[in-house]
Amino acid sequence: MPTAAAQPTDDRPILLGGHRVGLALMRKEDIPHIARWNQDLEFTANIGSPGEAHSLEMRQEFFDKNARMRSDSVEFAVILLSTGQLVGFGGLSDISRAMTATLFVGIGERDLWNQGLGTEATRLICEYGFFFRNLFSIKVEVNGYNRRAIRVYERLGFRLVGRLRGVIMLNGARHDQVIMDLLRQELKLEHVARFEALGERTGEPLQLDDRQGSK
């Protein structure tokens, strides 16, 4: 399997930038990298079901269905701001009418793990969800042995909701699926603060009479 890291492509707009990573829209050129990461059994055992792998064709199909932002889901490319390199992906699925959603995140380049990028990418996704999608809460479902991911969520303020006991199997052993959630008021919105003024201006009621009078 090729191991070349996702190289910097041309500059792409960063929708939401943090200190070291930013969120951008996915592009077709990202698909081979996502497919490569999803053919790493350690990666897929952490992010999904042990033993799973995704072909390039599967990822292309997924991209064709999910590339557009939807009212019930959104997926971002995670970009290293210093180089423009694609380093991961993440987003929100199952955005409900009750304004709840499920988060997913992955830093695909393993040599970049444990450098704080996953925590920042997760924070940005949460900030996007709370500020722009008006979410009440965000949930994650983590395989119990994925201590690194659990640590990331704990650091951001996610709390344990419960455990689905023994539902994940690996090497003949059963592991719990850990469910955690984060409420809107439990996360300080840092990177979206610059958008707050926008809400203040547009939050004023429209003066319909004034509009008519100005004709």
Residues that bind ligand COA (CB under 6 A): 43, 46-47, 105-107, 113-119, 140, 142, 146-149, 151-152, 155
Nearer to ligand COA, 43 or 131 (CB): 43
Nearer to ligand COA, 106 or 129 (CB): 106
User: Least distance in Å: CB of 142 to ligand COA?
Assistant: 4
| Token pair recorded at residue 65 | 């269905």
Most distant CA atoms of the chain, gap in Å: 75
| Token pair recorded at residue 92 | 């929100």
Helices 147-156 & 117-131 angle (0-180, nearest 10)? 50
Residues 140, 143, 149, 151, CA torsion sign: positive
Nearer to ligand COA, 84 or 116 (CB): 116
User: Least distance in Å: CB of 129 to ligand COA?
Assistant: 15
Nearer to ligand COA, 148 or 159 (CB): 148
Three-state SS at 87? strand
For residue 203, give the amino acid letter: G
State the Cα–Cα distance between residues 215 and 212, nearest whole angstrom. 6
